[in-house]
Amino acid sequence: MAVTSKTLPAAVSTTKDPGQQQKPPSKYRLALPQYAAISPFFILFAVFGAFPILFSIWISFHSWDGIGAMKWVGLQQYSYLLSDPQFWQSIGNTLIIWVLSTVPMLLLALVIANALHNATRFRSFYRIAYFIPNVTSVVAVTMVFGSIFSNNFGLLNAFLQSIGLTKIEWLTQPWGIKVAIATIVTWRWVGYNAIIFLAGLQAISNDVYEAAKVDGASPRQTFWRITVPLLRPVILFTAVTSTIGGLQIFTESQVLVGDTGGPGGSGMTIVSYLYQSAFLDNQFGYGAAIGWALFILIVLFSIINWRLIGGGDERITRRAARRTAKETTDAR
């Protein structure tokens, strides 16, 4: 039997062309799981943060009652804002309340922080006790202080009458209303700022105080010439945050004297006027304009605080640089 030979097929090469090899995934594809993990925050911020901000800018140029069609008015809202006596009254009320609350609050917080720093017993208890007012309901606290400052049956007037003084119409007089609101703000935030100051005090090295004692510095000199200058960054932080919060006072005024700010609008703050214009008078465009005017005020006062409190280091540095340059020039 004849044997026939068959030609075997050539072996199929399994080696791929280097140019046809699979490319590695891009860096964006590798980072996709990380982006997906943090995307909920950005989505929520875009919906509840960025969009309301941009929309408030848009409606500030419109006349809108919240339901009907918007009407473009351009800068008329801001033009009316500059000539609105109620707006300027609300600014004046807010600034007075801010000064009456912020200045004593920061001074008292600094004193309390210094006392806590030097305390040797029950330090943790005092920290918690001073911080509790900050986490207490603002509405409940305001109602309690409303009873204290009540014109007829208030505890404060009862105390004044017990020592032979006449009672004061706290909630019907312009300055009485401002003092009552400022007292509520001070009582609520003094403990919070004291804890912030205490953290700053604990960051100061004890070697500085020991050197001051060796030089014969008294406790008062140590406090004002060592403690306070070294606490300047912390003081700047508390001043800026107190400015931001003080210019946005609303709940204390609204609960204590109502939506209209009490007699003559003496307790109407900027945010109270914004609330009244937008949600009571249905002038959402004008309310948005008030909100952006408040934003500008907060920025301006924050810059002023920065220059007054935080600018000292820059001035000292510039003076030292000029002094060094002058000495170098004289040496030449």
Of residues 327 and 305, the one with the higher pLDDT is 305
Q: Could you state, in order of their start, the residue ranges of all structural domains in the chain?
A: 83-133+171-325
pLDDT bracket for residue 296 (50, 70, 90): very high
pLDDT bracket for residue 2 (50, 70, 90): very low
Residue 157, pLDDT above cutoff 70 = yes
Structure tokens at 166: 């006449």
Of residues 34 and 4, the one with the higher pLDDT is 34
Full DSSP string of 165-208: PPP--TTTSHHHHHHHHHHHHHHHHHHHHHHHHHHHHHTS-HHH
pLDDT at residue 331 in the model: 58
Lowest mean pLDDT among 4-13, 133-142, 220-229, 263-272: 4-13
| Mean of pLDDT values over 37-47 | 91
Percent of the chain whose predicted confidence (pLDDT) is above 70: 86
What angle, 0 to 180 degrees and rounded to 10, lies between the N-to-C axes of helices 284-305 and 232-246?
160
CB atoms within 10 A of CB 297: 16
List alpha helices for the chain, DSSP H: 27-30, 32-45, 51-59, 76-82, 85-118, 123-135, 138-148, 155-162, 174-202, 206-214, 219-222, 228-230, 232-246, 251-257, 270-275, 284-305, 311-331
Residues 159 and 147: their CA atoms lie apart, in Å, by: 13
Q: What is the DSSP-derived secondary structure letter of residue 217?
A: -
Residues 181 and 102: their CA atoms lie apart, in Å, by: 12
Q: Which CATH superfamily is domain 83-133+171-325 in?
A: MetI-like (1.10.3720.10)
pLDDT at residue 209 in the model: 84
Residue 207, pLDDT above cutoff 90 = no
| Mean of pLDDT values over 18-36 | 73
Residues 270 and 293: their CA atoms lie apart, in Å, by: 9
Full DSSP string of 15-58: PPPGGGSPPPPPHHHHTHHHHHHHHHHHHHHIIIIIHHHHHHHH
pLDDT at residue 36 in the model: 86
pLDDT bracket for residue 21 (50, 70, 90): low
Contact 269, 253 (CB under 8 A): yes
Task: Summarize pLDDT for 268-289 with one digit per residue, the tens.
Answer: 999 999 999 999 989 999 999 9
Task: Summarize pLDDT for 323-332 with one digit per residue, the tens.
Answer: 655 555 665 5
Beta bridge partners of 72: 62
From 93, 61, 69, select the one nearest 174 (Cα to Cα). 93
pTM of the entire predicted model: 0.80
Residue 140, pLDDT above cutoff 70 = yes
pLDDT at residue 3 in the model: 47
Contact 262, 176 (CB under 8 A): no
